[in-house]
Chain A
C-alpha cells in the first residue's frame, strides 16, 4: 500500500515535472540570484563584489528613488480607481440587452489587444501640443490645451489618461462577473419594490465584489510596474515628472549596468507591493462577499468547516481505483 502510494506520488510529480523544472530554473533560481545580487556591486563584466547593505543605503538617499516612488504612487492611486470605475461602468453598459451588443463588446475590448510601444507612439501624437487630437478637440470648445507630455505638470496626468486605454481587459472580467449575478435575486428584489439603483447597490455591487477584488490586486501589481509608456514617450522626463520606479530600475540594470543596485530596487518594490496586498487582503473580509459564504463577520467559521470537510472526505473516502 505504501509502496503503491509512493509510486503514485512519483507518477504525479513526473507529470508536473516540466512545470516544476521551469519554475525552478526560470523563476526560483533567478529570484534567489537577484536577491543575492541585491547585496553586491555587479557591473555584469567583473565579478560581483559583496557590499552588504550599501545598495539599500544608497537607495534611501537617492533623490531619483524618492521621485520615482512619488510618481509611481500617484499613478497607481489615480489610474487603478479610475480604471476600476470606468471598466465597471462600461461592463454594465455592455451587459444590456441591445441589438448588436457583440459588436460593441468587441469594439470596447479591441484597444487592449493592441498595446505596448505601438500604443505609446499613437498617444504621443494624441498629446501633441499644436496639432494633437486632444488639443484639437479642446480647441473646438475654446480651450487651449497644454503641451501634455512636454510639460512637467501634465506629463504624468497624460500617462494616467492613457492608462484608461487598456480598460477593456478588466471590463471583460467584470462583464463575466455581472453575468454571474443570479437573475433570481434581481427578480426577488424587484417584487419587493427595489428600484434599479437600489438593486445595483445591494445586489450587483456585493455580488461583483470578488471580481473587483481580483481586478484591484492585478491592477495594483500591474500599475506598479508600468514603464513602457514612460520609456517610449518621455524617457522619465521632463525633470523626473514621469520617472516610474520600474523605469529607473530598468535604466540601472540595462543602461547603466548597475545590476546590484537594480536588484535591490526590485526587492524593495516587491516588499512594497507585498505590504499593500497584505493590507488589501486583511481588509477584504469587510467588503468582499463570496457567494455561498456567510457575510463578513461570520466568515472564518464556515471556511474552517469547509476545509475540515474536504480533508475528512479525502482520508475516509474509499480510494477510487483510477487504473
Chain B
C-alpha cells in the first residue's frame, strides 16, 4: 500500500507542477532596485522635491538598444535631478513576467509594451489610464492617429507609442536586373505582383531554384491583403468576427495561389524550417513581404543590392505595422512622475534622442515622421540608394492589430486553424468559416 501512495503523490506532483507555477511565478522579482536605493547626489542639486525612483521595464536583455535607452535615461535624470530611473531588463517571457509582477504589486513604474497587449492589459485593469494627463504632459494629437489607436482601449489612452515598423515589400535588385523585369512600384495591383513573381521564379525541372515572392504566414503578413480588399478580421467594435467575408476569401485565395497554384512562393511546410526572411537574405527570393525591421537587422549584410517599396494595393492602400510603446503600471506609487517621464520618453525629446542614436524604427510623432530622422535607423552602411521614404509612406496608412482583450487567444486559435488552409487540406471557404466560428466563440466568452 505504501508504494501505491507514493505513486499517487508522484502523479499529483507532476500534474500540478504547471498550476503551481501560477502562484510561484512572481518569485523572480529582481532585487536590482536595492542598488539605486540611496542617491545622495541629488540632494546637492538643491532639488525641491525628494528623490523619486522610477523603475523601467525593458523588453529584452543586454543589447545596444538597452544601452541606448540607458543613455537616454541619463539625460532625463540630469534634466530632472529629483528623478532616478532604474532600468530592469526582462529578457524572457516579457508579457507574463510583467503581468505577474503587476499582480504581485511589484511592477516597474514605466514599462515597454506592444500595442497587441494593450487591450488585454487595460481590460484587466493593469495600466494607468492616461486620458486625464492628455494636454498636461503630452498631447495625443501629436501622434499619428493610426499609431495612437494602438494605445487606446475603449477611447481611453493607456500608453504612448514610441516607435513603429510597417510591413513593406523588399526586393532583390540584382534579380530584377537579370530577369529584365521592371522594379515593383508602390501600390501595384495584386495581378502585377503575380506577374512579376512569375517572371522572377527560376525552375530547374521540378525544383524551384529561385522564388519570385515570399511571405510568412503570421496574421500580420496576410491581414494587409484582407484590408487592401476592404475586408477585416474583427468588426469595428471588436465584438464579432468579420473574417468570413467574400473580401477576405479573395485575399486568402490569392495568397495561397502564389504558393500552391502558381508555385512562385515557398509553401507553408517549407517555411517551418526556413522562414521567408531567411530565404530572401540568402538570395533565393526576388520579393519579400516583411517587416521593416529586417532592413536594420538581417538585411545589413547581404551580398546583393536590395530596395524597398510600399506594399501592393487593391481596393485601398493598407498594410500592418508593429508598435513599441510605454505604459505606466496601475500600481505605481509615483504615478505623476511616471507619466511625466513617459511623456518625455515617448515625446519629441525622447524620440529625437532615440532615433538619433540609431534605433531601428520609425518615429510616431507627426512632427518627426517627415524629417530625415525618421529613417535614420534603417540606413544601410553601403547601399545609399534605398528608398527608405517608402517605409515612411507605408506607415502613414498602416493599421494595428485588431483591438480585443482576447487577441492572444484569437491569434493562437486562428493560426492553428489556418494551417489547414495553408497546407492545402482545406479550402478557403470552410477554413474561414471555422475561424469565424472560433473567434465568435472566444469573443462570447465560451
Contact = CB atoms under 8 A, between A and B. Distances in A.
A228 interface: no
Interface in A53-91: 58, 61-62
Contacts of B272: 124, 128, 149-150
Contacts, number: 155
Contacts of B416: 235-240, 243
A281 interface: yes
B23 A30 contact: yes
Contacts of A224: 15
B11 A266 contact: no
A152 interface: yes
Contacts of A43: 124
B273 interface: yes
A225 B13 CA distance: 12
Interface of B: 4, 7-8, 10-16, 18-24, 93, 96, 99-100, 102-103, 120-121, 124-126, 268-270, 272-273, 406, 408-409, 412, 415-417, 419-420, 423, 425, 446
Given A239-B416, A253-B18, A152 B408 contact: no
Nearest to B103: A44
Contact of A34 (B22, B121, B412): B22
Given A257-B124, A277-B8, A266 B420 contact: no
Given A45-B125, A273-B15, A251 B22 contact: no
B15 A30 contact: no
Contacts of B102: 44-45
Contact of A33 (B23, B120, B408, B419): B23
A274 interface: yes
24 contacts: A26-B24, A27-B13, A30-B16, A30-B20, A30-B23, A31-B12, A31-B20, A33-B20, A33-B23, A34-B20, A44-B102, A45-B124, A152-B420, A221-B14, A222-B14, A224-B15, A249-B18, A255-B409, A262-B19, A266-B18, A266-B19, A273-B11, A273-B15, A281-B7
A217 B11 CA distance: 9
A34 to B, nearest CB: 4
A237 B425 CA distance: 12
Interface in A273-302: 273-274, 277, 281
A270 B124 contact: no
Contacts of A262: 18-19, 22
B270 A237 contact: no
The list of the 10 closest CB pairs from A to B, nearest first, reads A30-B20, A150-B269, A34-B19, A238-B419, A237-B416, A45-B124, A237-B419, A147-B269, A270-B15, A266-B19
A270 B125 contact: no
A222 B14 CA distance: 8
B14 A257 contact: no
Contact of B8 (A237, A239, A274): A274
B4 A30 contact: no
Contacts of B126: 45
Given A30-B20, A152-B425, A239-B420, A44 B15 contact: no
A246 B125 contact: no
